[in-house]
Amino acid sequence: MRAPKYFTGQKVIIQPVKQERTPGDAAIESYAGKTATIEDYYYIYTPDRRQVFYVYTVRLTSEEKKELVTHEDELKPVFE
């Protein structure tokens, strides 16, 4: 199994994928460009167990402190 791209406590920027595929993907658009912190992550195997996908719970670092669930490809690291 490959390691996750992001780890708990890491700061990231929410970056929705260009092509919306599901209503959930469209819902994250309003948070594009906002900074968040990784709270937790989970992995999901494909049915044949050949691929693993990571899903992250992130907390916005802005004043609203909202929690979101995102796919790995909807995040990019913040380099401080």
What whole-number distance in Å separates Cα of residue 64 and Cα of residue 48? 40
| Residue 44, domain member (yes or no) | yes
| Residue 5, domain member (yes or no) | no
Q: Confidence band (pLDDT; 50, 70, 90) for 63?
A: confident
Tell me how many domains the chain contains: 1
| Residue 6, domain member (yes or no) | no
pLDDT digits (tens, 9 = 90+) for 16-55: 776 656 555 567 888 889 999 999 999 999 999 889 999 9
Residue 66: is its pLDDT beyond 80? yes
Q: Provide the mean pLDDT of the chain.
A: 87
Domain extent, residue 48, equals 11-77
Mean pLDDT of 60-73: 87
Q: What is the pTM of this model?
A: 0.82
CA-based nearest residue to 68, from 51, 77, 54, 56: 56
| Residue 4, domain member (yes or no) | no
Strand order in the sheet with 67-71: 67-71, 52-60, 35-45, 11-14, 75-77
Residue 57: is its pLDDT beyond 90? yes
Query: Where are the alpha helices (H) located in the chain, listed in sequence order?
Result: 23-27
